[in-house]
């Protein structure tokens, strides 16, 4: 009876451990279990929008046919205030690229800003171009960033002054087409801060115009366009309420503020090759190794606990193979469900690392040293028979004179 009680207690502890590990993994993999509220709000007492974590807006319709004469030049102005340094995320993106994960965009990297572009070669392959300008942002300080381009290259101005140049081929019209997204990319890459003005031109602004626009943007509502052609789009962010930001030039491309956070192109099981192809110096990034360790280490307890259960409580042939397969399908289910959650990123890399972690948990349990330690842990709190309570049972009939007393075992 005592052995039965002990085995039952061990079984309950192992079952509880399995359920606890499974619950923790599901919470970690699927939190917050829903699409969060779109963290966008109008500024108080001034024009502009504030973007929190997981907040963005997008154009109602796609931009089309933004063409200057012979694609001679294009420009973009944006007034913004980053929330913090260090910080990062996509400030602006156009959903025009055949590769939705690499559109035209402006992105913050700490104090720096980067312009990411794409070009199609004759074979239809997409080449990604980008250049970066350092020492642009300060936390809580508003700046006017201007990007101008012609066939010979691209220039970036900060507060009317030239800050950086790129000699790659200039911006072409199709890069400024498609849905416009602010404070996010076409995938989940949200940016936190404030945006108080945006203008898009189908021409290259001269240095004098850039300086003049900076002077007029700062105290007034928008660039001074006296004697100039109007821009393709001009957003003044002066509504101070509602869910629409008007394009005062063309209302068909007004911006809308959705009630819930969104991602235009959520990835489904993004390939490991794609992750490596898009990330320069990935192996040198601390976040890469941190994610790798979390994804492997997070599934080690799963392999350990479930192998202990299937090898001692519900004994099953090929328990190791069963548990590793369980880890694979659990990871697949989580990655598939993450596709429905805009704040999560579904990828093959996690599938591989999670399965590896499950296998390591199985190998860890099969270690004799770990097994001995695990047995001691399980034995804690399990009632064992007390030797002082084991009393001899004397036979009820009087023994014969030459018969010795016998005790039960």
Amino acid 407: pLDDT: 38
* SS3 state at 5: helix
Amino acid 345: pLDDT: 76
**Cα–Cα distance measured from residue 135 to residue 139, given in angstroms and rounded to the nearest whole number:** 12
Amino acid 379: pLDDT: 72
Amino acid 395: pLDDT: 47
Amino acid 227: pLDDT: 76
**Cα–Cα distance measured from residue 324 to residue 296, given in angstroms and rounded to the nearest whole number:** 13
Amino acid 282: pLDDT: 41
Domain locations in the chain as residue ranges: 2-33+272-379, 40-256
Give every residue of the chain whose pLDDT is below 50, as ranges: 277-284, 384-397, 399-409
Q: What are phi and psi of 51, to 5 degrees?
A: -115, 120
The model's pTM: 0.75
Topology of the domain covering 40-256: Jelly Rolls (2.60.120)
pLDDT in tens, 355-405: 999 999 999 998 878 777 777 776 765 554 444 444 444 444 454 444 444
Nearest of 106, 79, 75 to residue 201 by alpha carbon: 75
Amino acid 405: pLDDT: 40
Burial letters for 351-365: b for 16+ Cβ neighbours within 10 Å, e otherwise?
bebbbbbbbbbbebb
């Amino acid at each position: 009876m005592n052995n039965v009680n002990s085995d039952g207690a061990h079984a309950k502890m192992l079952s509880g451990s399995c359920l606890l590990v499974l619950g923790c993994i599901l919470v970690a993999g699927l939190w917050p279990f829903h699409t969060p509220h779109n963290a966008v709000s109008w500024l108080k007492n001034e024009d502009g929008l504030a973007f929190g974590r997981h907040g963005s807006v997008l154009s109602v319709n796609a931009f089309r046919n933004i063409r200057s004469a012979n694609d001679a030049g294009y420009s973009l102005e944006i007034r913004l205030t980053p929330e913090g340094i260090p910080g990062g995320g996509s400030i602006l993106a156009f959903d025009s690229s055949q590769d939705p994960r690499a559109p035209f965009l402006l992105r913050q990297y700490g104090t720096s800003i980067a312009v990411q572009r794409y070009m199609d070669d004759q074979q239809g392959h997409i080449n990604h171009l980008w250049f970066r300008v350092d020492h642009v942002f300060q936390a809580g300080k508003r700046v006017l960033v201007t990007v101008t381009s012609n066939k010979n290259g691209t220039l970036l101005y900060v507060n009317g002054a030239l800050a950086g140049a790129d000699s790659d081929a200039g911006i072409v019209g199709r890069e400024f087409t498609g849905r416009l997204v602010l404070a996010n990319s076409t995938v989940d890459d949200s940016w936190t801060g404030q945006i108080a003005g945006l203008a898009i031109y189908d021409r290259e602004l001269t240095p004098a115009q850039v300086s003049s626009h900076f002077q007029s943007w700062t105290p007034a509502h928008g660039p001074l366009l006296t004697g100039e052609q109007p821009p393709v789009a001009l957003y003044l962010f002066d509504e101070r309420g509602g869910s629409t930001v008007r394009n005062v030039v063309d209302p068909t491309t007004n911006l809308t503020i959705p009630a819930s956070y969104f991602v235009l192109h959520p990835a489904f099981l993004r390939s490991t090759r794609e992750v490596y192809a898009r990330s320069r110096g990935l192996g040198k990034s601390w976040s890469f190794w941190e994610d790798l360790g979390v994804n492997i280490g997070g599934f080690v307890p799963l392999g350990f606990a479930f192998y202990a259960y299937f090898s001692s409580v519900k004994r099953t042939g090929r328990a190791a193979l069963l548990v590793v397969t369980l880890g694979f399908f659990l990871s697949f289910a989580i990655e598939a469900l993450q596709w429905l959650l805009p704040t999560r990123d579904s990828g093959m890399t996690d599938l591989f690392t999670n399965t590896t972690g499950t296998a390591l948990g199985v190998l860890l349990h099969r270690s004799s040293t770990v097994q001995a330690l695990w047995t001691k842990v399980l034995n804690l709190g399990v009632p064992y028979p007390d030797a002082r309570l084991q009393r001899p049972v004397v036979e009820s009939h009087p023994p014969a004179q030459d018969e010795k007393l016998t005790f039960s075992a």
